[in-house]
Every structure is written in C-alpha cells, then in structure tokens.
Structure 1
Amino acid sequence: MSTTEAPVVVAALRTPIGTAGHSLAALRAEHLGAPVLRALLDRLPTDLDPDDVVLGNCTGPGGNLARLTALTAGLPTTIPGLTVDRQCASGLAAVDVASQLVRGGARFVLAGGVESASTAPVRSWPAVGDTEPVPFTRAPFAPPDSDLEMGLANDLLAADAGVGRERQDAYAARSHALASAAQATGVFDPEIVPVAGVTRDDRPRAGLSVERLARLRPAFREGGTVTAGNACGISDGAAAVALVDAELHRQLDLPGLRIVASATAGVDPARPGRGLVPAVRTVLERSGITLDAVDAVEVNEAFAGQVLACCDELGLDPDRVCPEGGALALGHPWGASGAVLLVRLFSRLAVRRQGRYGLAAIAAGGGLGVAMVVEAC
C-alpha cells in the first residue's frame, strides 16, 4: 500500500489514567477530554482550527460527547464533532474515522477517546406492567446466548487456548513492573496532560509479585484463571491525537506517525477478546509489513490470558508487547484505551525515535477488533 499522502499524527497526549472512584472520579467525560484537546492545539506551531473532532466513548451520558468536549475546550462553535462507539475499541476507531476524513479532504482533525466510568449515568430498563424498573448494567453486545460478561468470556478464551493461571499472573506482574519503572523514571511525563492537579497514573504497583497474585481467587467462575490481579482495572481517562494531511505535515515540519493501514474485524461474540487477531492479520496484509518488521507493539491488555491467547495465535512473542507496561498496570478507560495505544506509540517512535513501524491493536465487546500500523516520519 502506498503511504505517500497518508494522514500523519503530529501530536499525541493523554490524561493520567485514574482508577474508577479515585483520583479523577469527580470529572465528567468532557472535562477529561477538553484539557487534552486544548493541550494538543497548544503543542502545534499553527493557529489553524481543526476541521472536526472525533472521539470514542462507551458509557457516557449520550448525546454528541465529541461536540460537547470540543465546546468545553473552547474550540470555535463552527467546528463540529462526531462521537464513535465501538466499545473498547472506540478510541482507535475514532482515529481511523478521522484518517478517512483527512483522506477525503480535511486538513486537520483531533481524534481519540474519553471515558469516565466514575460518572457514567445510572440507568434502568423501564417498568413493564406491574414489574419494577430493572437496573441497566450495560448495553447488550450480542444476542443473549453469546453475550457473556467480559471476564467470563476471556476466562473461557484463556482455557480454550491453554493459557494457564501461572502464565497469566507472570504476565500481569511483568506489566506492573514495567509500568512502575517507566513511571518512576519519568517516561510517561511528556505524554501526560495534568488534570485537576493529577499528574500520575493511579494503578501501577511496584513489587507486585507472581506469588502475591497467586493468592487471589478466580473472579468469574469456579476453577477459572482470571482474577482481579491479572485483569485490567476499570478506569477514567482521555487520550487524543492531532491528525493532519501530508501537505500540512510538511509545512509544520514536525516528527510524526504516518498511518499506513487500519483494519476492523469481527469474531464470535462469545469470545470477544479474540477480535484483535484477525484485525492484526488484515492490517499487516494491507500494509505489506510483516509482524517481524514491526518495531513497537502496543496491545490493549484487558486480561493477561486474553493477550497471551492472542499472542500465541499470532505467533507474537509476548515480551515484545507493551514493553513499558499496558492496561493491566495503567488501567482501561474503555472509550479512550485505543487512543492511549497510539499515544504510547507516538512517544516511542516519533519522540524517542525507537524504531520505524508500530502496531496498535485492541479487542472489544461484541466480538470486534481494531488494528492500525503506523510509521515514524
């Protein structure tokens, strides 16, 4: 695939990731996303307004959250907004949508995702006849016979793939160790926009050993292998990128990430964590780049067993994945997590120049996967 005039990410930032109910719990989604949009504009040596704002979100109040966030950020009222819901893959899907807008003629789009699990509205199904309203826990992802809870579905995926408890705990401990080391040495600092006085991710825990993780009980089924320790944390946060066309990129003369290819795929909704496997295979085929040629791999670590099952199926060494820790340690702000992957790739490839090609991949409820290949330029 030719990438000569492909869209280019020229800036990428995120909030700290807060554990739900903790450091960012008082902030609604638009108040998480707005500071990131404002900071992206401040990073660019141009007064050009974006043509659009595209943001992913899963559990917010509804309406057009991207438009609300843009207005909260003080952007001109002439700039529209588009909210994307592809569940956990929403943030990466939003950047994909934005790249298509740029290919279609837009010069500059802000795109990413935002999630405030802490302030998500409490809803209920309406009463029918003499019945009481039924609490609404989440939207259905699939017909009832295949609409399993994420924890159970990914526990079963790990079992299907033969990924045992010890291996999952070891991978989770690795994620925390890597993220804690990166946090301690300031690796994350340049990509983080402080919000409400919060400057650091809540969740990374130094010294979280396999032995400590082994004491935790299965969380989703008797005899299962997924626990609170080898699963991600429910989180709050926002992440976004500034995406420009090739001509504007040349004018700005900034290091960036060229979007080489993207792909979205579907799998059995009863095993949603597998969704990133066909998405990765398709995006590599579209890009003409082999997995061995990819220098930086960022996969959303929803569950250790899920990541390991997907790595095994792809023939991907798990030690290549998230070498500075992933969602197991940082947290998983659902609608933002796909964009967080791109922020991490931007930091590694465009800022620190640690390689040429990057791969971002994420699975989502309903049996979906989104993947993207980028190239440092």
Structure 2
Amino acid sequence: MNPVYLVAARRTPVAPVNGAFKTLEVSDLAVPVIQALMTDTGLNPGQIDQLILGNALYGGGNPARLVALAAGLPESVPALTLDTQCCSGLDALRLGAQAIASGQADAILAGGVESTSRRALRAHRPINRDAAPEYYERPAFTPWPDRDPDMADSAARLAHEHGIGLDPQNTWAIDSHAKALAARERVSHECVPLAGLSADAATRPLSERLANRTPKVAEWQGAAINVAGTALQADAAAVCLLVSEAMLARMPAGTRAMRWVADVSGGGPADSPPWAIVPVVQRLFERNGLNADHFHRIELMEAYAVQAIVNAHQLGLPLDKLNQGGGALARGHPIGASGAILAVRAYHEMASAPKGSLALAAIAAAGGLASAVVLEA
C-alpha cells in the first residue's frame, strides 16, 4: 500500500444550533475551510482528485458536490457525500486515505459538514391521501423498535450500568471547558473565522454550581445525564488534505505532514452506541501492536460525559494525553463534522510533538458504530 499523509487541517469554529451560523447552508460553512486549505498548502483546485464529505442532516442530494462547485473545484472533480451519522467526518477521511493508499488518487479533500440549524424537516409520507405527514426528528438507527433508544437514553443507561452519577459527569464537563479555555489561543490557529465567530461559541467557564443547576435530559433506573454532560447540537465544517508521497514531494519545503498509520471501523451492541468505541479501538490496538500508552495525544469524542468516562476507563487512556484542547462538551456536536474535527484537533495538537509520536482519534455513532484513526508526527 502507498503511504498517505495528512498535510493540512482546518475547520470553522463550532456554533450552537440557531446561533451565529443559523442562516448558513452547508456550502457556506465548508467553502471557506476548503479555500483556507488551498491557501495553506499552495495547491490549486486542479490538483485535487476528489472531495469526500460526511453529512447526516442535509436531507438528500449530494451536498459534497454543491460544496465542491461553490469552492471553485473543477467540474471534473468528483464529490462524494457519506452518512454514518457521528462517524461520517472521520469515515470520509478513512475513505480518502484508502483511495490514496491504493494508488487511485494523489490529493483528496476529506472531512465533514453539518448545518443543524438549516437541516431539512423530515416527515413520513402519509399512506392515505387525506392524512397529514408524520414529522420525525431522527430516523431509526436499528430495525428493532425495542432496541432503538434515543442517544440520551442510551447514555443514561450506560450511567446506570457503570454506576456513574452526575457528580463525576459534571467534573468531566467542567474539565473539558477549562482545557478548551486554556487552549483557546492555540486552537484559534486551526479555525477559519466565519460570520463574526473566531472561536468555539459554547466554550465557557463552567462551575460546579452551574453544572449542577443544568436540567436532566434523560434518566434510566435512577441514573441520569444532564445538559452540562451533553454536547450541544451545533453547526460547523472541518476538512483535511490527504496526499500521496509523490504529491508531498511536490509541495513546498517545510510542509508539515503526519503519516496515516492505521484506521478501523466496526460495531458494537446496536442499542448501546456509547459503548462501541471500546471494542473497535481495542481491535485497532491489537492489529497494530499498540496500547493507550503509545500515544502523545488522544482525541476522544465527548458526545456525553458518561460516554467519555467509560470509554477512557475501559481503554486505559491516560487523561494527561486526552482532549488537551477540550472536547465536544466544550465545543458542541455538529454530527457530520465531529469526527473530522477530531482529526483537525489531532493535527494541530501534534504540531510540536517529537517526530514519530502518535495521535489517536476515535468516535462512536448511532446504531452502535465506531471509527478510529492513528496518525504519526
């Protein structure tokens, strides 16, 4: 297989739903990021072989093609949209890396975009002509009605199964915000300012008192999760540039490249998405002779504080290497973009890492799926 390198990574700030980006469509979010990548690397649009974007809420069509055309990529450049829910952005990167590794491409833009604020209204078509459409907020994630809990209910069940109360969840959320605030200056370098926003809008000083006052969003047999321990619905775009060794050789001297070491996707119990990361990352470790102590930085999705607590404990992840610029609890969760944001964060967090150091990015998704990648400085 041919070597693959991640040579540039950018994103918008993350804005809570109906916030600073509430009028922006997916192309409005993604185009400035792609243009920034072109400027960062000196590549021209004609050198791009494909654009691959994850998206979960747009409602059909091929938003990646809209983005490609709006960004000025040649009409000859193919564009692909994929939907694996929360894994979409990271899976787009995985698919791009596989295309380069197999010799089918030299330069691919890959990532994710989500405009939760402008998402489509979804409805089931009525069977009878005189009936009203049946609107719904989310599709089914499994074929079994009795094993298809809402994500929040699944997280609350995880809290019950592992005996994790609100206090440790609040502590995790408080720490995520504190790390994000402390890292705001260095995180700003990866963000493309947009609509008057230059930093993640949800990041704030979160006290124990304030966390305790946030309402519960789900309960399961006495266990609960609250707003403080739940990543906000959000809007954002994140895109990375992946290149072959041949393309890297033609890029300007000093281009910082991270080698794509390994990736994996897999599944766990379909009705327990927060648990899926554990067996998938364990498989990644086993296949590549790795363990948690091999990593200089780890970007773990924080859809829920309880999820991150359980995942980190079960995988033995060292907390001093984990989400050092804050996690999704301090940013928000733009579903189709969140996995790509983890890759962007890993790329920039590793800017001063010793050569040969490794970074891990991992995320779970509805339906009990998970994806993870390993990058080397």
* Superposition TM-score tier, normalisation by shorter sequence: over 0.9
What is the CA distance between 1:221 and its match in structure 2? 2.3
Q: Does 1:213 align with 2:214?
A: no
Q: Retained in 2: the 8 A contact 1:179–1:324?
A: yes
Q: Determine the C-alpha separation between the residues in 2 that align with 1:319 and 1:218.
A: 29
Q: Which residue of 1 aligns with 2:22?
A: 25
- How do 1:304-343 and structure 2 match up within 5 A? 304-343=305-344
Q: Which residue of 2 aligns with 1:188?
A: 187
Matched residue of 1:372: which SS?
A: strand
Matched residue of 2:236: which SS?
A: strand
| Deviation by residue 1:168-214 (Cα, 9 ceiling, x = unmatched) | 1100000011111222xx111210111223212110012x1123212
Q: Retained in 2: the 8 A contact 1:298–1:341?
A: yes
Q: Which residue of 1 aligns with 2:53?
A: 55
Q: Determine the C-alpha separation between the residues in 1 that align with 2:328 and 2:204.
A: 12
Q: Does 1:123 align with 2:119?
A: no
Q: Which residue of 2 aligns with 1:95?
A: 93
What is the CA distance between 1:149 and its match in structure 2? 0.5
| Deviation by residue 1:242-276 (Cα, 9 ceiling, x = unmatched) | 00001222332411111100011111121101111
Moved >4 Å (runs of 4+) = none
| Counterparts in 2 of 1:7 and 1:280: CA distance versus 1, 3 Å | same
Q: Retained in 2: the 8 A contact 1:280–1:361?
A: yes
One-letter amino acid matched to 1:18: A
- How do 1:66-77 and structure 2 match up within 5 A? 66-77=64-75
Q: Retained in 1: the 8 A contact 2:157–2:219?
A: no
One-letter amino acid matched to 1:128: I
| Deviation by residue 1:100-127 (Cα, 9 ceiling, x = unmatched) | 1111220000000000000001121111
Q: Retained in 1: the 8 A contact 2:298–2:322?
A: yes
Q: Which residue of 2 aligns with 1:86?
A: 84
RMSD: 1.5
Q: Determine the C-alpha separation between the residues in 2 that align with 1:84 and 1:299.
A: 21
Q: Determine the C-alpha separation between the residues in 2 that align with 1:320 and 1:226.
A: 25
Q: Determine the C-alpha separation between the residues in 1 that align with 2:295 and 2:321.
A: 10
- How do 1:5-44 and structure 2 match up within 5 A? 5-44=2-41
Q: Which residue of 2 aligns with 1:164?
A: 165
TM-score (ref. length: structure 1) = 0.94
What is the CA distance between 1:330 and its match in structure 2? 0.7
Q: Which residue of 2 aligns with 1:251?
A: 250
Q: Which residue of 2 aligns with 1:107?
A: 106
Q: Determine the C-alpha separation between the residues in 2 that align with 1:78 and 1:164.
A: 54
What is the CA distance between 1:319 and its match in structure 2? 4.3
What is the CA distance between 1:58 and its match in structure 2? 0.3
Q: Determine the C-alpha separation between the residues in 2 that align with 1:161 and 1:375.
A: 33
Stretches of structure 2 lacking an aligned partner (at least 5 in a row) = none
One-letter amino acid matched to 1:368: L
Q: Which residue of 1 aligns with 2:347?
A: 346
Q: Determine the C-alpha separation between the residues in 2 that align with 1:307 and 1:263.
A: 19
Q: Determine the C-alpha separation between the residues in 2 that align with 1:240 and 1:248.
A: 18
Q: Which residue of 1 aligns with 2:235?
A: 236
Matched residue of 2:48: which SS?
A: coil
TM-score (ref. length: structure 2) = 0.94
Q: Which residue of 2 aligns with 1:375?
A: 376
What is the CA distance between 1:288 and its match in structure 2? 2.5
What is the CA distance between 1:61 and its match in structure 2? 3.1
Q: Determine the C-alpha separation between the residues in 2 that align with 1:19 and 1:182.
A: 19
Q: Which residue of 1 aligns with 2:291?
A: 290
Q: Determine the C-alpha separation between the residues in 2 that align with 1:147 and 1:30.
A: 32
Q: Which residue of 2 aligns with 1:260?
A: 261
Q: Which residue of 2 aligns with 1:362?
A: 363
One-letter amino acid matched to 2:138: R
Q: Retained in 2: the 8 A contact 1:88–1:362?
A: yes
Stretches of structure 1 lacking an aligned partner (at least 5 in a row) = none
Aligned length: 369
Identity %: 37
